[in-house]
Amino acid sequence: MAAVATSVNRSFVTVPAGTIHVAQAGTGKPVLLLHQTPRSWDEFRDVVPLLGEHFHAIAMDTIGFGDSSKPRGDGPDTIEMWAEVAVSVLDALGVQRASVVGHHTGAVIAMEIAASFPDRVDKLILSAPAMVDDEHRRLYGDKPPVDEVERKLDGSHLVELWQMRAPFYPKDIDLLERFVADAIKAGDRSGGGHLTVAHYDMEPKLPLIKCPTLIIKPTEDPFAAPEAEKLAPHLPQAEMVDLPGGMIPAPDQLPEEFAKIVTDYLTR
C-alpha cells in the first residue's frame, strides 16, 4: 500500500464526561481507532490518512490521555468508563455504527464496546489484545505499574521512561520520542492503563461479543503474542493474522502494513 496524502482534521468534541480530542480523515463507513496507554491518537498518526482513503477514520484520545480532558470526579479509571466515553464520542459525531480497531489497551476497550454496546459495532479488530483472566491478574494486577516513574526536577525520569520502553521498541528515536511525549501528557496516569486492564472483569464479557472479529498478532511483541493465542479460543468467530516484525508500537512502527490488514478485513 503506497503512502497517500489524505488530509487529517483534528478537533474537539464535548461529551458528558469532558472534552475529547479526535482526528478524522476520509468518508464512508466509520472506523474508530483506540490507542494503547499511555499513548494518544498519535499512535495512529500515519494509519489514519491511509484508512481515510477507504473509510471515515476516527482516532480519539482516550479520556485522560493525549489532548483529551481528565475525567471528572475522583473515581478510578475503568475499562467500562473508557468504553462509555468512546461511545459518547460516536454519538457526538453522529455515528450510529462503526467498526472498532484497538491496540493493546485500546483492544480491551474495543472488546468492552462490542460486549456492552453490540448494536454500535460492525466489525471488531483487536491488535495485540490482552486475555484478562486470573493468571493475567496475578502477573500484572499487583506489580508496580509499567511506565510509572517518580517525577524529578532534574528530568531524569524522562530517561527512565525511555529506557523502560527501548528494549521493546525498534531502534527508532522518533518512535521513542513520541512515546515519551505522550507519557508526559498522561502525567500520573502514565502507568495506570496496565492496572486498569488487569482489573477488568473480562471473562463474562467475552461470550457477549458476537460481531465478526479479527485478532492481529504482532510477532515480535513478547507480551501480546502469547496473550492473543490465549484469547482466540474464547472468541470462536475470530480470525487471527500475524503482523510480521510488529513490536509493542505496531501501528506507528508499521503503519502501511497495519492499515492494509485493517483495510483488507473491513472490505471483504
The pLDDT score that the predictor gives to residue 75 is: 82
- Determine the length of the chain: 268
The pLDDT score that the predictor gives to residue 137 is: 85
For the whole model, what pTM was predicted? Answer: 0.95
The pLDDT score that the predictor gives to residue 33 is: 99
**44-103 tens-digit pLDDT:** 999 999 999 999 999 999 999 999 999 987 788 999 999 999 999 999 999 999 999 999
Indicate the SS3 state at residue 203: coil
CA distance 132 to 115: 15
**173-224 tens-digit pLDDT:** 999 999 999 999 998 888 888 889 999 999 999 999 999 999 999 999 998 8
**CATH code of the region 9-133+201-266:** 3.40.50.1820
CA distance 222 to 48: 26
* Averaged pLDDT for residues 105-126: 98
The pLDDT score that the predictor gives to residue 142 is: 67
Burial 122-143 (b: 16+ CB within 10 A, else e): ebbbbbbbbbbeeebbeebeee
Q: Which residue has the cell 512515546?
A: 179
pLDDT at 1 over 50: no
Judge whether 235 and 213 are in contact, CB under 8 Å: yes
Q: Where are the alpha helices (DSSP H) in the chain?
A: 48-51, 79-93, 105-116, 134-140, 156-165, 173-186, 192-198, 224-231, 250-253, 255-266
Indicate the SS3 state at residue 117: coil
Domain ranges (residues) in the chain = 9-133+201-266
**Count of CA atoms in the C-beta half-sphere (13 A) of 160:** 14
Q: Which residue has the cell 496496565?
A: 194
First to last CA, the chain: 16
Q: CA-based angle 25:31:32, to the nearest 5?
A: 95
Strands 9-15 and 18-25: antiparallel
Burial 180-211 (b: 16+ CB within 10 A, else e): bebbebbeebbbbbbbbbbebebeebbeebeb
Taking CA atoms, 175 is separated from 45, 54, 172, 179, 252, in Å, by: 11, 26, 6, 6, 7
C-alpha cell read off for 227 = 496473550
**147-187 tens-digit pLDDT:** 888 889 999 999 999 999 999 999 999 999 999 999 999 98
Please choose, from the candidates 211, 66, 187, 198, the residue with its C-alpha nearest in 3D space to the C-alpha of residue 144.
198
CA distance 79 to 193: 9
